[in-house]
Amino acid sequence: MNKIPYGRQHITESDIQAVVDTLKSDYLTQGPRIAEFEQAFANYVGAKYAVAVSNGTAALHLNAIALDVKPGDKVITTPITFVASANCVKYCGGEVIFADIDPNTYLLDIREVRKILEADIHREIKGIIPVNFAGRVVDIQAFRQLADEFDCWIIEDACHSPGGFFLDSDQKQVMSGSGQYADLAIFSFHPVKHIAAGEGGMITTNDEKLYKKLLMLRTHGITRDENLFENSLEFASGTSNNEQRTTSLSYPDWYMEMQELGFNYRLTDFQAALGLSQLNRAEEGLERRREIAKNYHEAFKNKSFIKGQSGLIEGHAYHLYILEVDDRIGLFNYLRENKIFAQIHYIPAHLMPYYRQFGWKEGDLPNAEKYYSQCISIPMFPSLSDEEQRFVMDKIDDFYNG
Ligand SMILES: *Cc1c(COP(=O)(O)O)cnc(C)c1O
């Protein structure tokens, strides 16, 4: 058996061809593939607008700027996530408040969030960043009601859940990233995620104002849209300081304006071509992930080491398949010896040395910390073969039953 990682990208001949075609075209960055990818992605998740950016972290950063996070502002998120979910608040000088997880879902516990909001008498908390951890989609409808009560915005970190959904109060499917309840949602196209583009990210929203702001922020805060120009036509034409008169009624072709302090967070056209090609197979990949989850579930459902999120959940996108186990380090090492590279998701963000300096310490978030002591992510990716999966299940069984 070859080595089996916990996650792996899958690149086909047609993916390669799509990239090669773009490399041979006139555009390497911000060409036609970008808009195509954005449109196709918006359709996939059911959102009005999508903005492609260089990675998921850049997507989070731009969201925090677009939502006007400032020094002194506080934002709530979960400790069981990749640190980028929290870091975007720090980039803008804000403060991160970690709230504990629900031990059954591993997701940000809305009851904990409510408690924190109710205690925030000075209304310093401006937003909430729930994370669809492992691919299970948060009930954003419930979070929206809570956020509205306290005048907060919501960024849905949907990096683990493209194609996933939750059931709303009418039992209707609400797609992850659809923008129906969250102000903004973000995705990543890092190779371990569902859709791989090398690096890459996407922001989805139904809010036109935020959409336009994000388009500008991703490319230096510059606009070329004449309708948005603030300086006069005379100034733009270069005729305000001399005797020449402009006869033109429109701004000259070269003219553009930098109106905000933005960044270069663009995606390249060939990455978009790869993303687009992968997106065409996304449903297929998701089906396979759900099949793998079902197999694991069948194999482990009567075992004492299966806990928490591992049950089969409708709408779950199965980015990760997690077990909570006794003797986790023993199992981890045993799997390594058998060339199965399980992983741990995640070390609680509040206990990272960077966040400890703000006063976070062990014991602050008991559910997250207990979860961390037992969690292990076992191989979950569409190209995992049945034979490989069987090998993984047998080895786990061997470890516990000797
Ligand atoms: C991967 C990931 C990110 C960051 O995405 P990058 O593209 O790697 O910058 C943010 N949040 C979560 C939950 C992720 O899994």
* Segment 360-369, tens digit of pLDDT: 999 999 999 9
Is it true that the peptide bond before 211 is cis, omega within 30 degrees of 0? no
- Does the CB atom of residue 82 touch ligand 1 within 6 A? yes
Name the active-site residue from 74, 126, 193, 307: 193
Q: What does pTM read for this prediction?
A: 0.96
- Of 117, 134, 131, 129, which Cα lies nearest the Cα of 90? 129
**202 near 47, Cβ under 8 Å?**
no
- Of 161, 222, 235, 224, which Cα lies nearest the Cα of 194? 161
CA distance 332 to 355: 27
Q: What distance in angstroms lies between residue 63's CA and the mean position of ligand 1's atoms?
A: 14
Asked about 115 being catalytic, the answer comes back as no
Q: What distance in angstroms lies between residue 381's CA and the mean position of ligand 1's atoms?
A: 17
- In the chain (402 residues long), the average pLDDT of successive 10-residue segments reads 92 97 92 96 98 98 98 98 98 98 97 98 97 98 98 98 98 98 98 96 98 97 94 89 67 96 97 98 97 94 77 93 95 98 98 98 98 97 97 95 82
3-state secondary structure of 42: helix
3-state secondary structure of 51: strand
* Domains with residue ranges and CATH for the chain: 4-220+262-279 (3.40.640.10), 282-401 (3.90.1150.10)
**279 near 195, Cβ under 8 Å?**
yes
Residue to mutate (ligand 1; options 77, 85, 87, 91; most atoms within 8 A of CB): 85
CB-hemisphere CA count at 13 Å for 239? 13
Identify the bridge partners of residue 96 per DSSP, sorted by sequence position.
75
* Segment 307-328, tens digit of pLDDT: 766 678 999 999 999 999 999 9
CA distance 267 to 190: 12
Q: What distance in angstroms lies between residue 7's CA and the mean position of ligand 1's atoms?
A: 14
**39 near 50, Cβ under 8 Å?**
yes
Q: Which residues contact 314 (CB under 8 A, 6 or more apart)?
A: 167
